[in-house]
Structure 1
Amino acid sequence: MFVSYKWLQDYVDLSGVDPEELAEKITRSGIEVEGVEIIGEGIKNVVVGHVLECEPHPDADKLNRCQVDVGEGEPVQIICGAPNVAAGQKVPVAKVGAVLPGNFKIKKAKLRGQASNGMICSLQELGVEGKLVPKEHAEGIYVFPQDTEVGSDAVAELNLDDAVLELGLTPNRADAMSMLGVAYEVGAILGRDIKKPETKVEESSEKASEYISVKVEAVEDNPLYVAKVIKNIKIGPSPMWMQNRLIASGIRPHNNVVDITNYILLEYGQPLHAFDYGKFGSKEILVRRAEQDEVIVTLDDEERKLNENHLVITNGTVPVALAGVMGGADSEVGQDTNTVLLESAYFAGGPIRTASKDHGLRSEASSRYEKGVDPNRVREAAERAVSLMAEYAGGEVLQGSVTVDNLKVEPAVVTISLEKINSVLGTDISAADVESIFNRLQFAVKVQGNEFQVTIPTRRGDITIEEDLLEEVARLYGYDNLPLTLPEGDATAGKLTPFQIKRRAARRNLEGSGLMQAITYSLTNDKKAGQFALHKREPIRLIMPMSEERSNLRLSIIPQMLEALSYNIARQNDSLAFYEIGSVFLKEENQELPSEHEHIAGAVTGLWNSHPWQGEKKPVDFFVVKGILEGLFEEMGVAEHISFRQAEREGMHPGRTAEILLDDMVIGFAGQVHPDVQKDMDLNETYVFEIEAAPVFNYNLPALQYSPIPRYPSITRDIALVVNQDVKAGELKSIIKEAGGKLLREVSIFDLYQGEHMEPGKKSLAYSLKYFDPARTLTDDEVVKAHNKVLDAVKDKTGAELRG
């Protein structure tokens, strides 16, 4: 919700409180102000000018030479290329020395040999977003009304010196989706009165009921419908002050009638819709559920197929509006409209939300109906709108309203005691202070001893129980004024759990290895929900997803990591290394809710090392990822219990993928993404890993023991073993370590040979073996004895032969 500071002053006195201070006070009272923006901040020396003469540039087809009065006596010559510039206009002029947004400074210039002393500006050049500029000014300069004073400050005339507060509203605070709602909030914060808009309507002798009748079939969806008729409307631009306020609120001005309905939506929080009565097609309004496959063409000229869950406004025969969401194109108010049929209604949020979601139409009206509008403002808003149409569109308001009213609304009455307030908040607030807070909120309150019976106005539909009143008292009393206390009793100082310590250590290790932390969505789509999952389960779908792309809880982190890589590669970031420690969600038998498991995942692509000066470039490969994981397992103290074995997994390269085992339990995998998946996502060669965090973090490690640095020399033996092609290097290493006994302390592979000097089906694997005893110097006989056991074991178990 965008709130104009100047507009807000119409309803509540803000003297002595600047926009930044007001934003701070609103935030501290419970509604976050996400920012304060002054659209025209930094603009200098821009005034209202009067174009006295306008003629084509003698040497350029698309330029005009203008003589402009800027309120300083002699007119100045300005060369302007706007297609809509003309003599007699009042326009914004940036004089020589002016500063425009982006620190753009205006200087004297010559354009095709003609002097130009300034610039005639468009709204976009003054900092207004293009999508908010009225269509008549979208392709050229802005033109002021003729009564605008020449030489006056154009920034002030356009209201660009206004401060706009952006409120980050939670769904329960629908009351603050209107200027009046914000005024009540600010009035309560500052302890000041509210001035409501004055509505004066002079009605004609003709009755609205002679022009229209209203019938509602879907009473539960639409318990209150009010129709007004305004004749002799003259369509034209709305007054400049109204256009400025709409632009500040993020709404593009159209014409006086449409702008008034949008203005009332912002002022009262009550959506309205104006139909062209001449195009309506009948004298009857019928509100009903749509028929299956019924069709309507909406204001955006899209044909939309409806179903029985959608609420429509019809002329008795065909739909003319998708209720609470968007009107139909056939009855749109246009330049030839002379009679307006105005709708103000109370719609239930459910059908509006359904239609909005089904058709992808998220409008200002639908967002308010979904969260709930004030039923007691439906009639007020209609009366305020027709009074403005009479004043600014020359309309003649017909007598009375045509209404269907099945709405029964009683304000909520909530009782709370002073003891409850003070015991929950830990305060010692007096009864008088509590009563004062409710009065500032303009809640009717009866005090009986230390009990408060509070009648909640219908504009605050979020307050229904005493805990809601507690929150109101706390935030108006001031969260900063609540006392701070420490827990009593035998409490101990807080600390990290062992799991949290391991998680932090894992993050430091992965970042030290060169990976950057990513935080991705826990929600994904139907297709990706089961991809790369360590544990196959049926995906868990949300009941009411915000979109189909975020409709399922994830079973693996890798699909989201690949999305992040793809996004970056599309933007020329091609050497990337990400990791994430996050949750996946598994459906369990006989459990309504899924179980949440923490996983560690990573994705790496591009160059791992690049040193152009030395001519060194190392692309990522499987062994880079394996090394990252081995470093992590070393940090976690489980490296000796980890093994890798070749595996095939869906979505992974069949020859470059390994499962990761902790003791004999599979806890994850690592490898290259399958080339088909890489191609589909426009990825380069990419390697990923994903492991379960709990088995690693919770592994029962023995108590830490320190060993002295060996005083005695070690003895190293290298062996090259010829084995069959299908023998795994890791398998051979395990056999060597087991056979070497306690004297064999280190085993490492350093060479693989497959070539013309090796017989077919064979390969050579070379290992370095280190023997030592920390208590004494080993003899050659002891080493030979242990070494022979190794050779015998590898020959017996794999058929390995020493390479000659």
Structure 2
Amino acid sequence: MFVSYKWLAEYVDLAGITPGELAEKITRSGIEVEGVDVLNEGMKGVVIGHVVEKEKHPDAEKLNKCQVDLGNGEIVQIICGAKNVDKGQKVAVATVGAVLPGNFKIKKAKLRGEVSNGMICSLQELGFEAKLVAKEYSEGIFVFPSDVEVGVDALQQLNLDDAVLELGLTPNRADAMSMLGVAHEVAAILNREVKYPEISYESIEEKAENAVAVKVEAPEDNPLYIAKVIKNVTIAPSPLWMQSRLMAAGIRPHNNVVDITNFVLLEYGQPLHAFDYDRFGSKEILVRRAKEGEKIVTLDDQERTLTADHLVITNGTEPVALAGVMGGANSEVQSDTKTILLESALFNGQRIRISSKDHGLRSEASARYEKGIDPNRVHAAAERAAQLISLYAGGEVMQGSVQVQTATFEPAIVTTTVEKVNRVLGMNISSEEMKSIFERLQFGVVLDNSTLTVTVPTRRGDITIEEDLVEEIARLYGYDNIPTTLPIGQAIPGKLTDYQEKRRKVRRYLEGTGLFQAITYSLTNEEKAPKYALEVSELTRLALPMSEERSVLRLSLLPHLLDALKYNLARQIDQVGLYEIGSVFLSQGKDQQPLEKERLSAAITGLWHSHSWQAEKKPVDFYVVKGIVDGLVDLLGLTRDVQYKQAKRDGMHPGRTAEIYIGEKLVGFIGQVHPTAQKDLDLTETYVFELSLVDLLSVDIEETRFEVIPRYPSITRDIALVVDKNIVAGDIEKVITNAGGKMLKEVSVFDLYEGDRLEEGKKSVAFSLRYFDPERTLTDEDVTKAHEKVLSAVEDKVGATLRG
């Protein structure tokens, strides 16, 4: 809805309120103002000029040399190329120094040897959209009425010294689709009165009921129909002020009668239609449903086939209008029209919507019928249009109206209490303040103790229940006056849970390592489902699968990730790293919902680093993938809790696979895909891991504690231990860590040797041990004492000896 600020000021006092301030207040009250368009922004120097002479340009056939009086006693020469320019016209002239839209500046110029001191303007050059300019001026300059004063501001005459507010209306606010509706809203916001137009005109002795009869066969679709008859009209352009207001609202001017019906549509929100009485075809108006296959040619010269779902206005035999949508060409108001049959009616919005949708016709009228109009404005709008036609088209209005009404229209009565309003809003608004708000809205209101009984006018059809009254109070009291409170409780809306926050960190970390997130199907086939499963479970089958390939729920994310790697490798993408966070489904027995558990899986193949300028290539290996998992474990604060144990799993390489534990609980595995499986899938060397994410993220982590950086030096001792080949380095590291005491801060493996210099069945594992005390400098004696405990422990518990 486009609202002219100057037009709105005729219905409600806007003194002291700028368009921008008004837009802010309307938006704060619940109707969004999407923009404020200042029509003359940046323009200046455009005046009314009088063309006193016109002759052809001596050296250009399509140009005219015009002598134009600018009203200051000076006549200037302007070269104009418009076809419709002529002597005696009053036109818009951009003088030398003027600025037009787009910062286009007018300068003194020479055109084919002739001086031009300005430019005679079309409406498009003054900023009007071409589709809104009347057809007679669409391809030339605009000609003002002969009574305008020469030399005055042309922008003011065209109502361009105005601002237009664009309202973004929600479907429930049909009342604001009219100037009077917006005036009621603004008056309530500003606590001012609404001024309705005064309607008065003289009617002739002839009665409308003698000129036309109305019959309604579909009262459920048309509960109210009013017809008026106006004689001796003169079809001509409408007044300039009316044309400019229609264009500001986005409607193209046509002629005085049609423009008046559109003007009243915008003013009252009531669609009207004017028929040519002499072309109507009879003295009877019959409103009925169309017959199947019946045809009508509408005003856009399109023949349309109707159905029994469409409502039509007929002359008793043939349709003359598609009710509420568009009139018929056979009764159109034309330049020779003398008598007007004016329709003002209430049509069922759903019925109009069907017609509009079926024929692809969306008009200003249909939009208002669909959302709902005020039934108590139907008669007033007809009277207002009759007044304007009498005034601006010279029409003689016949006495009375012909009316058919089959329903009554009473205002809604809705009740609420002060306690309910304040409880819902969390506020403490007084009963008198609430009563005042409804009075500003011009609702009838009775306050009885703490009960508010509100009589809602029919223009506000959106207010039907108690909660609607609460909303009216809230928006006019001011949403920004609602007190701010912090939410309380276990779960705060909008806040991530601890689990969600950790999962988000995991995603960010994995993407930071260079992996891409994949999302694969939860459904798979019976062959793939059990592969790489972390937990053994029966398969959960779909009752009605679409295909065998998607017939059971997965137990692992890895099979589909490997398929994704295969897909990429087949397309020459030889470096691929994917991860997925998703659910697997563990059966809980027949007819039971499967248990969902969240898993984290990744699959990586190809080169991990490839720096051709440094001649460096590093293919992915076990330690690359383990490094990713170690970083993840460290991020979650689980470094001390997680252990890797060598393992053998189906589908995995027997010597390059480890299971991951937290305490005694298996939470995942890591390793290389078995070479046979790689070959079957046409994969290069591929490494994977799958982790039980819910187990990792559910571990309670001690609060991070920071220690002062040591001031004293540390001492490092290296030991090479000879042990049986079946003893893993991790077990030896545990023994060393437990025996080293508080001074032993770090243990790491730096060498492994197996060869002919060692006894068969033995290996040498070298460890680096770092000791320090944050309180003092360690002596050799201190370190030797702790070190001997370590040597004694590894000898006793794993049978290790120092390598000589």
Q: Same fold (TM over 0.5)?
A: yes
Is the 1:290–1:307 Cα contact (8 Å) retained in structure 2?
yes
Using a 3 Å threshold, how does the CA distance of structure 1 residues 117 and 625 change in structure 2: closer, same or farther? farther
Find the counterpart in structure 2 of residue 438 from structure 1: 438
- Distance in 1, Cα, partners of 2:681 & 2:425: 78
Distance of aligned partners of 1:416 and 1:69 in 2 relative to their CA distance in 1, 3 Å threshold: same
1:737 to 646, 653, 662: 653
Give the 3-state SS of the residue equivalent to 2:60 in structure 1: coil
1:363 corresponds in structure 2 to 363
Which residue of structure 1 lines up, in the alignment, with residue 725 of structure 2?
none
Matched residues in 1 for 2:350 and 2:55: separation? 59
Alpha-carbon offset, residue 705 of structure 1:
4.0
Q: How far off its partner does 1:495 sit? A: 2.6
* Counterpart position of 2:182: 182
Counterparts of residues 59-74 of structure 1 (less than 5 Å):
59-74=59-74
Counterpart of 2:240 in structure 1: which amino acid? M
SS for the counterpart of 1:460 is coil
| Partners of 1:454 and 1:663 in 2: CA distance | 55
Deviation by residue 1:163-190 (Cα, 9 ceiling, x = unmatched): 0000111111100000000000000000
The 3 A distance-change label for structure 1 pair 162 and 141 is same
**In the alignment, which residue of structure 1 is the partner of 2:283?**
283
Code of the aligned partner of 1:387:
Q
* Amino acid paired to 2:229: V
CA distance in 2, matches of 1:507, 1:703: 13
Q: Which residue of 2 aligns with 1:407?
A: 407
**How far off its partner does 1:426 sit?**
2.2
Task: Identify if the C-alpha distance between structure 1 residues 69 and 405 changes in structure 2 by more than 3 Å, giving closer, same or farther.
Answer: same
The 1:740–1:489 alpha-carbon spacing in structure 2 relative to 1, beyond 3 Å, is closer
Q: How many residues align?
A: 608
Q: What SS does the corresponding residue of 1:445 show, helix, strand or coil?
A: strand
Q: How much does 1:486 deviate?
A: 3.1
Partner SS for 1:142: coil
2:686 and 2:389 mapped to 1: Cα distance? 91
Aligned pairs for 1:286-365 (under 5 A) are 286-365=286-365
Q: Which amino acid aligns with 1:209?
A: E
CA displacement at 1:421 relative to structure 2: 1.9
Report if the CA contact (8 A) 2:70-2:150 is conserved. Answer: yes
Residues 49-68 of structure 1 show CA distances to partners (whole Å, capped at 9, x for unaligned) of: 11111111100111101111
SS of structure 2 residue aligned to 1:485: coil
| Preserved contact between residue 749 and residue 766 of structure 1 (Cα < 8 Å) | no
Distance change (3 Å), C-alpha of 1:509 and 1:664:
closer
Counterpart of 1:123?
A: 123
Gaps of 5+ in 2: 525-541, 546-567, 585-596, 604-631, 644-648, 660-668, 689-727, 731-748, 762-804
Alignment of 1:257-656 (within 5 A): 257-487=257-487, 495-497=495-497, 498-499=499-500, 502=503, 630-633=577-580
Paired residues for 1:126-137 under 5 Å? 126-137=126-137
Q: Which digits, 9 at most, give the CA deviation of each residue in 1:70-91, with x for residues without a partner? A: 1222211111111111111111
Matched with 2:590 is none
State which structure, 1 or 2, has the greater radius of gyration over its C-alpha atoms. Answer: 2
Shift of 1:424: 2.0
CA 1:766 to 1:401, structure 2 compared with 1: closer, same or farther past 3 Å? closer
| Mean CA deviation greater in 372-381 or 102-111 | 102-111
Q: Which residue matches 1:104?
A: 104
* Superposed displacement of residue 104, structure 1: 0.8
Identity between Structure 1 and Structure 2 (%): 60
**Could you tell me which residue of structure 2 aligns to residue 706 of structure 1?**
639
What residue in structure 1 maps to residue 139 of structure 2?
139
Deviations 1:400-441 (A, max 9, x none): 111111121111111222222222222222222111111111
Give the CA deviation at 1:485.
2.5
Distance 1:777 1:153 in 2: 94
Which runs of 5 or more structure 1 residues have no equivalent in the other structure? Answer: 517-531, 537-585, 590-619, 642-661, 669-698, 711-732, 755-760, 786-804
Q: Which residue of 2 aligns with 1:719?
A: none
Other-structure match for 2:231: 231
* Residue pair 2:656, 2:671 contacting (<8 A) in 1 also: no
The structure-2 alpha-carbon separation of the partners of 1:737 and 1:477, relative to structure 1 and needing over 3 Å to count, comes to same
Q: Match for residue 42 of structure 2?
A: 42
Return the letter of the residue paired with 1:198. E
> What per-residue deviation string (whole Å, max 9, x for no partner) do you get for residues 2-33 of structure 1?
00000001100000000000000001111111
CA change 1:430–1:749 in 2 (3 A) is same
* In 1, Cα distance between equivalents of 2:263 and 2:681: 83
Aligned pair in 2 of structure 1 residues 32, 632: CA closer, same or farther (>3 Å)? farther
Relative to structure 1, the CA distance from residue 423 to residue 737 in structure 2 (aligned partners, 3 Å threshold; closer, same or farther) is same
Q: 1:326 deviation in Å?
A: 0.8
Please report how far the alpha carbon of residue 768 of structure 1 lies from its aligned counterpart in structure 2 after TM superposition.
11
Structure 1 match to 2:538 = none
Q: What do the CA deviations read for 1:589-647 (whole angstroms, capped 9, x no partner)? A: 9xxxxxxxxxxxxxxxxxxxxxxxxxxxxxx997698967x3554xx599xx9xxxxxx
Measured against aligned partners, the alpha-carbon deviations of 1:270-313 in whole angstroms (never above 9, x if no partner) come to 00001111111111111011111111111111111111111111
Distance in 1 between residues matched to 2:232 and 2:543, nearest whole Å:
64
Q: Deviations over 1:358-396 (max 9, x none)?
A: 111111111100111000000000000011000000111
The C-alpha deviation readout for 1:675-700, integer Å capped at 9, x for no partner, is xxxxxxxxxxxxxxxxxxxxxxxx99
CA distance in 2, matches of 1:701, 1:354: 64
Partner deviation per Cα, 1:141-181 (whole Å, 9 max, x = no partner): 11111111111111111111210000111111100000000
CA shift, 1:450, in A, is 2.0
Judged with a 3 Å threshold, the aligned counterparts in structure 2 of structure 1 residues 103 and 238 are, in CA distance, closer, same or farther, namely: same
On the 8 A contact 1:749/1:765 being kept in 2, the answer is no
1:666 CA displacement:
13
Q: Which residue of 2 aligns with 1:75?
A: 75
State the shift of 1:484 in Å: 2.0
The aligned amino acid for 1:312 is V
- Would the alpha carbon gap of residues 118 and 780 (structure 1) be closer, same or farther in structure 2, given more than 3 Å must change? farther
- Normalised to the residue count of structure 1, the TM-score between the two structures is 0.69
1:515/1:396 CA distance change after superposition, 3 Å: farther
Q: What is the rounded CA distance, in whole Å, between the counterparts of 1:637 and 1:361 in structure 2?
A: 48
Structure 1 residues 245-292: Cα deviation after superposition (integer angstroms, max 9, x where no partner)? 000100000000000000000000000001111111111111011111
**Aligned counterparts, 1:639-678, within 5 A:** none
State how far apart, in whole Å, the 2-side matches of 1:165 and 1:35 are.
Answer: 6
Query: TM-score of the superposition, structure 2-length normalised?
Result: 0.69
For residues 185-238 of structure 1, give each alpha carbon's deviation from its aligned partner in whole angstroms, at most 9, with x where no partner exists. Answer: 000000001100111121111111121110000000001000011111100100
